[in-house]
Amino acid sequence: MLSLKFFKHRSLLFFLICFTFGCQNTVTTGPLITRGIIVNNCQEIITDIKIIHLPTNAVASFSGVLSKTTAEIGFPEKELLAIEAIVIWKEGNNSYQKKLQLPQNSQLKAIVPQRLVYSIFTGGVVKVELVNEI
């Protein structure tokens, strides 16, 4: 009787370990990103750019990006855990602040490194997308 109880508890422990590791392998993860890029599609320089990711509170900032150019931050490949971003910038005398939903690629079967690209347009328009690394 004692050995049967021991076997049941040991089997339960084995089951929990397998279940835990199995769940970790099948949990939907965020996209893997290697760079953050800001594209200035405006006719003039944009300044005081700040991007805040929520709920992680990761922050990236740039003093300015010239018209029709880009700025980027590269980093070791990491999982994008944020689900929203607040983008703050100035275009000339106008200040803007926009909240965006970040794209998620949880439907991809094979996870490939991507770039997180913020495109800023004249008049306070901003969009964000994931672009595969080449």
- For 47, residues 6+ apart whose C-beta sits below 8 A from its C-beta are 63, 64, 89, 90
| Same domain membership, residue 42 and residue 19 | no
Question: 41 and 13, same structural domain?
Answer: no
**Is the pLDDT at 22 greater than 90, yes or no?**
no
pLDDT, tens digit, 9 for 90 and up, residues 79-132: 999 999 999 999 999 999 999 999 986 454 456 899 999 999 999 999 999 999
The domain that holds 85 is classified in CATH as 2.60.40.2890
Domain that holds residue 15: 1-28
Domain count within the chain? 2
User: Rounded CA gap, 75 and 57, in Å?
Assistant: 17
Same domain, 99 and 57: yes
11 three-state secondary structure: helix
Give percent above pLDDT 70 in the chain: 73
pLDDT in tens, 38-48: 999 999 999 99
- Provide the strand spans (E) within 1-134: 32-40, 46-54, 59-65, 70-79, 84-91, 94-101, 114-121, 125-132
Neighbours of 128 (CB within 10 A): 18
Check residue 110 and give its pLDDT.
55
49 Cβ contact partners less than 8 Å away, ≥ 6 residues apart: 38, 61, 62, 63, 64, 65, 71, 87, 88, 89, 120
Phi, psi at 70, each rounded to 5°: -130, 160
